[in-house]
Chains A and B, each alone.
Chain A
């Protein structure tokens, strides 16, 4: 079972992201479960959502406590809540930012972790370009597909198209694809550095 935790703020589509991811996994003939952290969510307040992906049917009903992947939609959350709680040492982390890990003050966290599993995705910028609003969720899902290969890009695209009206879907699909390609490039650079 592969477990994902998504951090963001109310209004950023945090819950939608987990749901889309579960639909993508379902499209890929896997079993998936998506659910929000429950609370009185408001625009701007920290929000958490979860997704489980498995080859077997999922019966477990606890929050994701030890995520295999953490998606951070808003880097300003880094120092207000413990987004890395329960993080695995070889887990994935994708963060929506244009800054470096050092600028974000999380150099220490990423230092001893596999480089190809800690990735920066300028998801808000990519969303501005394609969606016209800084909605980072679809882009981060594209990045997630590239980094983990736990869902296919095709299924992420299909999930977005199923969820939104054609015009909104088109922008989000473009954002997901660009982020996917961005992360594929990022991974190439990481492996290039590693082999030299």
Chain B
């Protein structure tokens, strides 16, 4: 879907992107991750043709990015707003027409989306009279109303309460199932883990990590496991290191470092302890993020 090669963008002396290569597959939910100032928004603006790269090129479905692609991309910017004096219906109609929809198409889709978000009776309400959450929903509708093939979401959940965030999340996944490719840019890692299949982690204009979330996580696995049981354990010798953790309400917790091939052995060793839980300690994306960025500073 998107193939970016050697993207360089400079602002005066500051280099926002230093030769970024990226590949995003069709139908993917792609996480574009990085701390503030990493170059995420610059890259997104290049995809949206708001700015052009100084060097490098971007292919959209194999074609060099051009203005006719704009109608096939949907964008929910981080800095988002609406015209406060316009009615919701007018506003969506205007934005949809700018994306190339005819008046008739636009009206139909506005009806459909307002219905989905239970805003149908608000079509003549002025934006300034809406709560922040409702305004955000209208903004979301504006970014998807032209049924884009590629939907770019820059920090989409900021400003949403948990209920609405969940609503938006399910809409994003539904659009993805219907065939839209999603780019999801954020610095808040926890929101990515449930949504994204593939991620790229950028920092200071450069790529740090890239690949499927599962692969990356496995690269960063520590070899530590957590064990919870009802009886106290006197660790027997073996090819492992055991740390005793707290014991609360008759539950005993241990941390064990071992090679994955030793799992049957350890399970055998703790057999009589009334095992409650045994799981691998996987690093959260947040930890991976902190680990990999700190190593580069």
A, B assembled together? no
Q: Which residues of A contact B (CB under 8 A)?
A: none
Q: Which residues of B contact A (CB under 8 A)?
A: none
